[in-house]
Amino acid sequence: MCGDSRHPSAAFLHSFLSLSQALCQNLGDLHVTGPLKDMNFSVPEGGGVRVIYQFTSEPPAVSFRATGEKDGIIDIVPKTGVLYLSGSLDWETKTVHRLQVESLDEKGNVVKGPYAVTIHVEDINDNPPEFDQIKYTGVVRQNSRPGKPFMHVHATDRDDPTTPHAQLTYSILHHFPNPYTEMLFQINNVTGAISPSVTGSYYLDPQKQDTFTLVVTVKDMAGMTMNAFTSSADVIITVKESLWKAPPTIRIQENSTQIYPVNISQVHSNEPDVIYDLFEKEKLPRLPFSIDQNGVIYVTDPLDREEKDTYSFFVVTKDNKGELVDKPLHIHVIVEDINDNPPVCQQALTVIEVQENEDEGSNIGTLLATDMDEEGTLNSRLQFKIGSQVPAVPASNLFFIQQETGILQLTSRSLNRRIASNYSLKVLVTDAVFQTICDVQIYVIDINDQIPIFEKSDYHNVTVAESLPVGTVILEIQATDGDEPATGSSYIIYQVKEGDPNNTFIIETDSVTNRGFVKINKALDFEAASVYNLVISATNPEPLVPGVQYNSSSLTLFKVFVTNVDEPPVFHKTVYKAEVSEDIPVNTLVMTVEAYDPEGDTVRYSLEGDVRKWLRVNSATGQVYTASTLDREQQGTYTVEVAASELTQKSKTTLILHLRDVNDNPPLLAMDYPPFFCHPLRGGERAFIQAADADEQWYYPTFTFSLADDMNARNNWEISKINATHAYLSPKHANFEEKVYNVPVIINDNGKPPLERKVNLKVNICKCSSEKSCFIEVQRDHSWPSTGQAIGILTGVLLIIGTSLLLG
C-alpha cells in the first residue's frame, strides 16, 4: 500500500491521512517523509488528489500549519504533517506555489519555522496547439523564387515553452489541386513561412490554375511522437501573373540627338521595395545604360553601331541585404544603323600597271572602297565615277569605271609610253549622303618582250652536311632581264624545275637586284637522298608578248651533294602502347620496341624510369617482358622510357602500359559510422549499409549482401537489398539490449570470379537524444535528457524515422 503512495486514490488518501507513522514503516524507505525544513517539490500538473510529502514532528511540536499560496488545493494535515493536494495543479494557471510551514506545540506556539516549501508545477502536454486564424489567404506571383516566403501561418500552444510540449512544427497535409508529383508549395516547419517549392517556382501559372488550397497542420512535441497534438488550418493561395518579364529586344538608333539619358524600357519586380541594378554580361569599358529605382532603363549616351551593334546585359533585383530577389532578366539591345559614315578608299593611292599594247575593254584593275555603315543596307551602298584624268592626252576619257563595282577598263587601245608614262585619276565614291575622292595612279608599262638570261648555265655543285638547318642559303644565282626595271616584265621568279620532287629547296628573289637565293626548305637526309641534280628556271610574272618564248638561256644547272652525319637511332613509333591484364605472370612478353640506326650500326635497348621494377627489356631484340607482379590498383597506366643506343648516339621513346583490371580486391564496407538503432526498438527500424571495392568497375559496382551462416545473427537480423551498392540492415524483433552487437555480414562483388569478404559489423543499440544520434545518458534521474554525449551521427536517419513511423 505504501509503495503506491505516489498515485493514491481518494480512498487511499483518506485512509492514509488517518494512519499513524508507526503503521507504515515503509514510508521512510520511500523518502516521502522527513523533518521540517526548506523544501522544493516538483509535481506534474493534473492528476488530482495526492500526497506530496509528510513532515515528521519532534517534541515539543505536535502539529503543523501551512500558509501562503495554497490556492485552495494545497494543504497540510495539522496532526500528521502530510502535505497533500486536494485537487489538480494547473501549470497554465500557476507554475509555482510558495508556502510557509511551521510546527506548533500544544498551545499553538510556533516551535520551528516558518520554512519555505515551494511546489513547482511540471507541465504536461495537455494543450493542443492552436492556429491564430482558421483560414489564411496569400498571394504569390508566378516565377517567384523558390523558398522565398510570401506568407506565414502562426500557432500558439499554452504548454510550457521550455518543454517539447510547446515545440511546434508545421507541415502541409493536403495540397488541392496537386497536379505534379512534387508539391508546388513548401512550409518552413519552424517559422510557418510558406514559399513556392522549386517545382512551384517553375510551374506556377495563373493561366493554368490560379487558386490553391493547402491544409497545413501544426503539431506539438516537435512532431516527434505519435501522441503529439495536431491542429490544422486552411490556406488559400492566389497565383498572380509575374510582373517580372524581360521586354522584347530594344532597338535604339545610333548617334541620336535626343537628350540623354533616354528612357528605353521599364521592368517591374514582383516584390515591393527591391533595389534594381544592372549586371554586365560582357566586360565593357563602360556600360552606356542605367536603371533607376522604379525599374526604368535608360541609355545614357549616344551609341555608335560601327563601334558596337548589340548590347546584352541583365537587370537584377536585390533586397536590402544585397540578396537577389528575382531571376536576372536578360535585356537585348540592337543599335540601328544610320548613314553616318562616309565611303573610305582602301588605299590612299591605288596603283595599277597597264601594258602599252593592252586591248580596249581590258579589265586593268579594281578600285576598292568600303563604308562602315551596316552592310547590306543602302547606307553602305557605294557608287563609283571618274572625276578627272591627268594628263588628258591623247584623249580625256581613256579609262572607264563600272559604277557599282569599281572595276577599271580601257576605253580604247591608245596607251603609249612616249605620250604619257602615267595617269592620275580622281574617282568619286559616293553613298546616299557622303562623297569621297579616291586617287588612282596608272602606269603604262613596257611590253614584256625580253626573257631573263642566266649569267651561268651551270653553277656546278656544292657539298652540304645533312644536318644543315632549314633556311640556310646554299647558293646565290643571278639572271638579268632587259625589260623596264621594277615592273612585272622584268621581275624574275626562280623555280626548281627538275630534280627536287619533295620541294627540299626554295629560291627567293631580291626584288631590287633580281638576285636569287637557294635555301634549304626541308631537312636534308643523306640516307634518303644524297645527290640532287637541279634544273632552275627564271620567268617573269607578266606574260611574254606573243612571239617571244623562254629558251634554255632562262635555265641553269646545279648539283647538291649531301654528306652523312652520324645520327641517333630512330624508333619506328613515337610512342609504344600496350594493354595487359594486371595478373599476367612474371616474364610475359608485353611488346617489342624497334629502332634502326640510319647509319646501320647495331642498336641496343634499355629501360629508364622503371620505378616499380615491373619491366625488363632484351637489349638486343627490344622485347619487353614483365619483371615482377603488376598491380592496377597501385598504378593503372605505367609509363617508362625506352632508350636505343648505338656507338655514340642515343634516342628515347615512351612506352605506355595500360593495365586491365582483374577482380583481385574483395569488397569493403564503405560507411563513416557503423549503423545504430535507438533503444528501445519500436519495430520497423532499418539502417543503410554500403559497400565499395578498389577494383575497376564495369559502369558501377554490384555487390550482394548477406548474413553469415550464424544462428544468432539470422535470428536477430535481416538484410534486404536496395540497389547495387546499398542494403538495409534491420532488426527482426524489438528485444534488444542496450549494447553493441556484432553482426557478421558477407559482401560479394560481381567480378569474374567474384570475391567475398566477411565483416563484423558493430551495431550499437543505444539510447538516443533524438533520432539523429546515439546517446549515453549521464544523469539517469532527469526526466528529459538535455545533456549527453553523441557517439555517432548517421546520415539518412530521417528516412529511418519516417519508415519506422509508417511501419509502426
Interacting residue ranges for ligand NAG, rule: CB under 6 A? 38-40, 118, 169, 189, 222-223, 255, 263, 265-266, 296, 304, 340, 391, 420-422, 451, 460-461, 501-502, 504, 528-529, 551-553, 559, 700, 722-726, 798
Residue in 667, 623, 661 with CA at minimum distance from that of residue 642: 623
Give the chain's largest Cα–Cα span.
164
CB of 611 to ligand NAG, least distance (A): 36
- Which of 593, 794 has the CB closer to ligand NAG? 794
CA triple 163-164-167, angle to 5 deg = 110
CB of 133 to ligand NAG, least distance (A): 22
- Which of 615, 689 has the CB closer to ligand NAG? 689
Which sign, positive or negative, has the C-alpha torsion 667, 671, 672, 674?
A: negative
CB of 186 to ligand NAG, least distance (A): 9
- Which of 127, 504 has the CB closer to ligand NAG? 504
The owner of cell 604619257 is 420
Q: How far apart are CA 282 and CA 311, in angstroms?
A: 8
CB of 635 to ligand NAG, least distance (A): 27
CB of 210 to ligand NAG, least distance (A): 26
Q: How far apart are CA 766 and CA 679, in angstroms?
A: 5
DSSP label at 803?
A: H
CB of 739 to ligand NAG, least distance (A): 28
- Which of 16, 459 has the CB closer to ligand NAG? 459
CB of 297 to ligand NAG, least distance (A): 8
Q: How far apart are CA 201 and CA 148, in angstroms?
A: 10
CB of 107 to ligand NAG, least distance (A): 29
Q: How far apart are CA 729 and CA 785, in angstroms?
A: 28
- Which of 656, 801 has the CB closer to ligand NAG? 801
CA distances from 482 to 485, 487, 488, 503 (A): 8, 11, 12, 30
CA distances from 186 to 195, 316, 785 (A): 5, 25, 31
- Which of 534, 655 has the CB closer to ligand NAG? 534
Contact assessment for residue 161 and residue 202, using Cβ atoms and an 8 Å cutoff: no
- Which of 179, 501 has the CB closer to ligand NAG? 501
- Which of 193, 659 has the CB closer to ligand NAG? 193
Radius of gyration, alpha carbons of the chain: 51
Q: Rounded to an integer, what is the distance from CA 766 to the centroid of its chain? A: 40
Buried b (16+ CB within 10 A) or exposed e, 270-304: bbeebebbbeeeeeeeeebbebeeebebebeeebe
CB of 574 to ligand NAG, least distance (A): 17
CA distances from 254 to 18, 151, 311, 334 (A): 107, 47, 12, 9
Buried b (16+ CB within 10 A) or exposed e, 613-649: ebbbbeeeebbbebbeebbbeeeeebebebbbbbeeb
- Which of 502, 587 has the CB closer to ligand NAG? 502
- Which of 138, 223 has the CB closer to ligand NAG? 223
CB of 581 to ligand NAG, least distance (A): 27
